[in-house]
Chains A and B, each alone.
Chain A
């Protein structure tokens, strides 16, 4: 599959996926969805990949769904928006959350609608100082999707989540960082380099162990404390059998830098 609406490359363990419809602020149409799905499939299947970096081309990160793709003319049949969520958005969000490797999102500009919630499904989020997050759904009669209604209250509390979702106001990158919605704000010009260097660092780390950490943290909102303790026990059991754990301990004993293989 050749990609028209995304840029996708794999280099030194880093998969770089950049949304590339800059004239439409990288909003999703069906073709872009299919391309993202294909790229994520390659990320999942390629054992060389140890980190995914997701970003956008141009001045925006992602403006959510391309509304010109939707037929809502007065006489037209009511659309089933659940269909496109079931088919595209939810599988994409699940994949980002479940990928057995760290997923970095570099939010290079405006992130609106689903575009504001995709970063929340990633593990580490950097944002350009000029970037902003807008839960725009309420302005056109819709509900925040792509996991927004689940993530927002957990990350920033219910009061802030409701204000964002009901008012659809623009949240600056700096405020988002202050609230703990994202990890770090970076000057616009430095964003891509910072994100890449973070990705390159993570690509040398014990990927399997990181994947298990991600799994444990993702499960924590759903589990009771006892269940989480059991999960930690099970995941530690798995981690303890990895080659990287052996290497990590050996390197510590030898007082040298470990050479992790990601398994």
Chain B
């Protein structure tokens, strides 16, 4: 049983993970991060799960790492930091990951948001990388994924000043896909999750992989991957079903084969 997570399955094929460490604004201590990585790893291997939604509470999605824990680590401690492996597992999750963000998403919280594929933010959400204020820098993708998400000038401003940005600003910049009423972020994320869960699972998986390729390869390689993936799907039963259902003007019933 995880101590800092609440795991629910409110919709067919969708798992909802709620970060629950309210006393620390959901700061991502190592135990929480380990639980989250383990949960995503098991969801990845569970064929009944198509999509995972991650959320926090109204006040905070996650307000950074655990500062006390960080203070205790020296150079060698950081070199052997188990968190790196947890972050790798989280980033490697192969199914769609949706973040429903209310309140603060700072430091590690913002980095976790950037591991998600789709981000629904409540109007009062705030995104930032305040590590610089502590004499450190983002250590879980904050300098890399942020630049890819929002471009250099805004990424530099956020990382070098530590000042957070609003949900609207984050949406304009491309960090957030949709802004919602705070009371409805989880519901909206669940709706999107449920919609994706009804699609052909193999197509969803390859689509996500192809999109992620766009971020870290050159265009020619990305296009080649896309074409291979497109070809792979030609052999699936779900493709035949999808096309047939479209022609027969009825909903498709996908089997994941």
Contact = CB atoms under 8 A, between A and B. Distances in A.
B181 interface: yes
Interface of B: 180-181, 183-184
A234 B183 CA distance: 9
9 contacts: A231-B181, A234-B180, A234-B181, A234-B184, A235-B181, A237-B184, A238-B181, A238-B183, A238-B184
A231 B184 CA distance: 11
B180 to A, nearest CB: 7
Nearest to A98: B124
A16 to B, nearest CB: 28
A231 B183 CA distance: 12
**Chain A interface size, under 10 / 10 to 19 / 20 to 34 / 35 or more:** under 10
Contacts of B181: 231, 234-235, 238
A234 B181 CA distance: 7
Contacts of A238: 181, 183-184
Interface of A: 231, 234-235, 237-238
B151 to A, nearest CB: 24
Nearest to A231: B181
A60 to B, nearest CB: 35
Contacts of A237: 184
B238 to A, nearest CB: 32
Nearest to B188: A234
A238 B183 CA distance: 8
A227 B181 CA distance: 12
Nearest to A227: B179
Contacts of B184: 234, 237-238
A235 B180 CA distance: 10
B29 to A, nearest CB: 28
B204 to A, nearest CB: 26
Contacts of A231: 181
A83 B46 CA distance: 54
A233 B82 CA distance: 45
Nearest to B184: A234
Contacts of B183: 238
- Which 3 A/B pairs are nearest by Cβ-Cβ distance? A234-B181, A234-B184, A238-B183
A54 to B, nearest CB: 23
A217 to B, nearest CB: 15
Nearest to A241: B183
Contacts of A235: 181
A230 B181 CA distance: 10
Contacts of A234: 180-181, 184
A235 to B, nearest CB: 7
A238 B180 CA distance: 12
B219 to A, nearest CB: 34
